[in-house]
Structure 1
Amino acid sequence: MKILFTKVLTNTDVEKRLAVPNNSLKHFELENGNCSKSFEVKDENGSTWNFRCYVRNDGAYKKPVLSSGWRQFVLNKGVHQGDLITLYKDVEAEASYKIEVQRKIKLLGKECWSSLEPDQPTGATAQVQTTNRRNRRSYSSLAVLPDV
């Protein structure tokens, strides 16, 4: 697998469409004259997603974006602004793409990136704070995430 790009997501990436780095455009193999291409992507759980890469057909700067299918992925996976995505391509297989989403967490006082797990709530972090309903006291504890 070859990394096509890695990106910390902005609000626009999450709320509208994913802006793709211009130097990654060649990996989507848009045919001459076409300004978009649909392709399948597998996530870390093996689920398949259909995305469309779209580029402007006027001007020197193409400004590639992932449009169709991207918002559905964001909503279903619980992707947030500040999450890190990595898009891969299997260079040995014809047009086989993979996407990975990671979230910054604090573990033992240090920031690190953790993959979103299928069984984890999307808002889970390494530090957990709960409030006891009876005495209204807050308790903090450390949640150790499983190895990925």
Structure 2
Amino acid sequence: MASFSKILRPTDIYKRLSVPTKYLKSLPSFEGGHAVDFQAVDDKGHVWTFKCSVRKKGRYPKPVLAKGWLPFVASKNLKAGDKVKFYREKNKSAAKRVYKVQVAKEVRIFGVIFGYAPIF
């Protein structure tokens, strides 16, 4: 199972999710292109379609999720400091890769981060 998780920053909430480059291998294959659509299932079973793209030019690919990301953020009421996790697992019946997405809200008490609570 390949995965990546990230604590969200303001840019991730208001524009697009910047994916750490080292997790590029966790994402679907670009097959020579610079963008790929993929679907991920949340904890409620809702299927979300995201577009992941990388720079066409330059030394560093810098993957980002744009299409589909902002509606996802709005539906989950995500804020900077919350956490998102994408992972893939093999579907036993179809023998294909299935992407999953989980989110967790930051838990703060008196300004101190105590952890993260899953959002369902």
TM-score, length of structure 1 as denominator length: 0.71
Q: Which runs of 5+ in 2 are unaligned?
A: none
Amino acid in the other structure paired with 1:103: K
Question: What does residue 26 of structure 1 align with?
Answer: 25
- Report if aligned partners of 2:52, 2:66 keep a CA contact under 8 Å in 1: yes
Percent of aligned pairs with the same residue?
34
2: CA distance, partners of 1:51 / 1:95: 15
Pick the structure with greater CA Rg.
1
Amino acid in the other structure paired with 1:113: Y
- Report if aligned partners of 2:106, 2:113 keep a CA contact under 8 Å in 1: no
Displaced runs of 4 or more, over 4 A? none
After superposition, the C-alpha distances for 1:15-42 in whole angstroms (9 at most, x for unaligned) are 000000111112221102x000000000
How many angstroms does 1:74 deviate by?
A: 0.4
Question: What does residue 105 of structure 2 align with?
Answer: 103
TM-score, length of structure 2 as denominator length: 0.87
Cα 1:30–1:110, aligned 2, differ >3 Å: closer, same or farther?
closer
- Report if aligned partners of 2:52, 2:64 keep a CA contact under 8 Å in 1: yes
After superposition, the C-alpha distances for 1:46-66 in whole angstroms (9 at most, x for unaligned) are 100000000001011001000
Q: Which runs of 5+ in 1 are unaligned?
A: 118-148
Question: What does residue 87 of structure 2 align with?
Answer: 88
2: CA distance, partners of 1:25 / 1:64: 7
